[in-house]
Amino acid sequence: MSTEPSVGSDVAHPRMTPQRQAVRDELDAGQGFRTAQQIHEGLRRAGSTVGLATVYRTLQAMADAGEVDTRRTETEVAYRRCTPGVHHHHLTCRECGRTVEIAGPVVEAWAASIAVQHGFTEVGHFIEITGRCPACSAPVSSPRAHPSG
């Protein structure tokens, strides 16, 4: 079985189907990384009939097209809509999964310097920063409502 795209296909911008739009909308509704099962469950709660296999295929196509960021969990991959075309890192809450995109110019310079120092070329990196967001860090007596936005 060939993995090459068929003639006339557009791997970077796959065709928008109702299923792809439903997965995209579900991703847009969340703030953090979610697994395919969590996205599928959100779709089902909303009344969608999109199947789990379709969710997996759609998420993989979106990842290939750069429409989502991926993060490996202990058991599988989690997905999040991201700012396309902009290199960034994530600050993720270990409790609730809230994720904030962050720029890291100091990290970028450090990675480039280390690469040069050791003679490496074509270097990439992945940095994951985790902690507890303000809502999850609030004292138990305080409500843990996340700020909108």
60-107 pLDDT tens trace: 999 888 888 888 877 888 898 877 677 778 888 888 878 888 888 888
Cα within 13 Å of Cα(113), Cβ side: 6
**Which domains are delineated in the chain?**
12-84 (1.10.10.10), 87-137 (3.30.1490.190)
pLDDT at 141 over 80: no
**Residue partners of 31: CB distance under 8 A and separation at least 6:** 97, 98, 99, 146
pLDDT at 9 over 60: no
DSSP state of 31: S
At residue 44, the pLDDT reads 95
Considering 8-12, 59-63, 127-131, the range whose residues carry the highest mean pLDDT is 59-63
pTM above 0.85, yes or no: no
Report the candidate in 91, 92, 96, 117 with the shortest Cα–Cα distance to residue 38: 96
User: In which element (H, E) is residue 68 found?
Assistant: strand 68-72
23-70 pLDDT, tens digit per residue, is 999 998 877 789 999 999 999 999 999 999 999 999 999 988 888 888
The DSSP bridge partners found for residue 70 are 79
pLDDT at 135 over 70: yes
What phi and psi, each to the nearest 5 degrees, are found at residue 89?
A: -125, 175
At residue 6, the pLDDT reads 36
Report the candidate in 41, 13, 60, 31 with the shortest Cα–Cα distance to residue 148: 31
